[in-house]
Amino acid sequence: MSLSFQHYCASKSAVLHFNFKGLDVSNQEILKRQVALGVSGGIAAYKSIEVLRGLQRAGCDVRVAMTRHACEFIQPLTFRALTGTYVLVDDYAPDNPDPIAHITFSQTIDLFIIAPATANILAKMANGIADDFLTSTYLACTAPVIVAPAMNTTMWHHPATQRNVQRLKEAGVHIIEPDEGEMACGTIGPGRLSAPEQDCRESP
């Protein structure tokens, strides 16, 4: 039985980690639920493992794409072991089985989630810069896009970041607002990637 994208996300929000209630994408049906998980280079990258496992528990087939800086925090091998598929970092890597992966990858998914999304990634997406695999995939993607920002509180509040977030919202990107709490740098305020134990809420 096929479900609308909106109903599927709402019914699975407890295992998808985020509260998807209210996403206005009800006309798109998810059949195989092919999901791409994009991981950018912030300290919160380790939490993307929990996001991946939640998507898998929800019945999604997940493939992972990472930025080079994300690889400084967590190795692609971790995601490859969990998904059983090649983790994409660079279209032109010698071991990449698909030299135009940003096109084929982006055209075969039902949902694109970027978690965590750094200030740098938000800026690139908002301004159409495609200088790595993740941002190239975003520009080539026709599926719904969900972004979960994570960064220092001051960076999150900066007018440039807020302009970029607003521009992405206007482009139809769904933004999951960061949580408040203590940052890795010691700052307290909004900017934390949503913690599963805090955000795993069933939508009514």
Q: Is the dihedral angle over the CA atoms 69, 184, 190, 51 positive or is it negative?
A: positive
On whether the pTM is more than 0.85, the answer is no
Q: Which of 59-63, 102-106, 166-170, 186-190 has the lowest mean pLDDT?
A: 186-190
pLDDT tier for residue 12 given thresholds of 50, 70 and 90:
very low
Decide if 185 is catalytic.
yes
> pLDDT tens digits, residue range 91-125?
766 666 666 666 778 888 889 999 999 999 999 99
pLDDT at 37: 95
Mode of pairing for the β-strands spanning 29-30 and 3-4: antiparallel
Q: Indicate whether 52 pLDDT > 50.
A: yes
Catalytic residue among 9, 71, 185, 200: 185
- What order of strands is seen across the sheet that includes strand 34-39? 61-66, 34-39, 111-117, 145-149, 174-175
pLDDT category of residue 146 using cuts at 50, 70 and 90 = very high
Q: What pLDDT is recorded for position 201?
A: 34
How far, in Å, CA of 135 to CA of 146, rounded? 13
Domain residue ranges in the chain: 3-17+27-199
> If pLDDT is split at 50, 70 and 90, which confidence band does 15 have?
very low
Q: Specify which residues 20 forms β-bridges with.
A: none
Q: Could you tell me which residue, 25 or 112, shows the higher pLDDT?
A: 112
Please tell me which residue, 47 or 3, carries the higher pLDDT value. Answer: 47
Which pLDDT value is given to residue 122?
97
Is the per-residue pLDDT at 170 higher than 90? yes
Residue with more model confidence, 129 or 59: 129
Residue 195's pLDDT band, with cuts at 50, 70 and 90, is low
Percent residues over pLDDT 90 in the chain = 42
> Can you give the pLDDT at residue 8?
46
What is the distance in angstroms between the CA of the first residue and the CA of the last residue of the chain? Answer: 20
**Sorting pLDDT into bands at 50, 70 and 90, what band is 193?**
low
The correct CATH number of 3-17+27-199 out of 3.20.20.100, 3.40.50.1950, 3.30.1360.120, 1.10.260.40 is 3.40.50.1950
In this prediction, residue 198 carries a pLDDT of: 33
Q: Tell me the average pLDDT of the chain.
A: 77
Pick left, alpha or beta for residue 132 (phi over 0 → left; psi -120 to 50 → alpha; otherwise beta).
Answer: beta
